[in-house]
Amino acid sequence: MILYFRLRALMTHNTYLQLAISLLAGLQLTLLILWTTNPAIRTLTSVPSAILSLVGALAIYPLSYLGHTRSVRPSTLLEVYLITSLLLNIPQARTLFLRHNDISIAAVFAASIGAMLLLWILEARNKTKHLKYPYKEYPPEAIRGVWNRTFFWWLNSLFVRGFKRILSLEDLYQTPPSLSSERLRDEMQAVWDRRCK
């Protein structure tokens, strides 16, 4: 029991992310093996498609690492890639199940869609807990992912606060660092000084 809690404490967000990427890569490799060992149902594009899917799954490792170590927000590239792949793979999974040729390929393909969905959920999560001081104070629009910013979901908590009571300045989010008046003033002063010379 103590070992369970120690292992659970060691499991971090990045560990779950790495496990999800490994699961997706393993399923893509399994799918490639299944397509190459079943020549009766193989099409002209099934093996190259499986190879590209495996390469894409392996490319997620360094992209995810760079996104989590170099940015305060989730990786836009990975989020867009994963959700687009999910939307395009769902009809293909339906077609594989309807063909009834080999149910193992369809099942592994459906499992890879599930792994991709899990990876997208983990990749799109907020990183506020893991950020250090100056970045921890960033406003939500500076640290949220692409889908959160697209649909303005980060504003929901502000709307709820405004519905419950009258908003004050303390309820509003801080200004993003790129728009801070001190930084903009310094930049404007430097440009002004250059023009005056």
Domain boundary among 101, 125, 149: 125
pLDDT band at 20 (very low <50, low <70, confident <90, very high): very high
pLDDT value at position 179?
A: 67
**Tally of domains in the chain:** 2
pLDDT value at position 176?
A: 67
For the beta carbon of residue 174, count every other beta carbon within 10 angstroms. 11
Domain that holds residue 50: 2-125
**Together in a domain, 92 and 27:** yes
- To the nearest whole percent, how much of the chain has pLDDT over 70? 90
**Together in a domain, 49 and 97:** yes
Contacts 24+ apart (CB under 8 A), 135-138: 135/72, 137/174, 138/72, 138/174, 138/176, 138/177
44 pLDDT above the threshold of 80 = yes
175 pLDDT above the threshold of 60 = yes
Q: Which of 131, 130, 129, 92 is nearest to 113 (CA)?
A: 92
Alpha-carbon gap, residue 25 to 13, rounded angstroms = 18
pLDDT value at position 196?
A: 85
Alpha-carbon gap, residue 155 to 111, rounded angstroms = 34
pTM over 0.85: no
Domain boundary among 74, 97, 125: 125
**Together in a domain, 86 and 23:** yes
Segment 25-54 shows an average pLDDT of: 90
7 pLDDT above the threshold of 50 = no
Task: Report pLDDT digits (tens) over 73-114.
Answer: 888 899 999 999 999 999 999 988 888 777 889 999 999 999
Task: Report pLDDT digits (tens) over 118-138.
Answer: 999 998 887 767 777 777 777
Alpha-carbon gap, residue 23 to 17, rounded angstroms = 10
**Together in a domain, 47 and 80:** yes
9 pLDDT above the threshold of 60 = no
Angle (CA) 141 146 80, round 5°: 170
169 exposed, middle or buried (CB, 10 Å; 0-12, 13-18, 19+)? Answer: exposed
Residue 88, both tokens: 């395009």
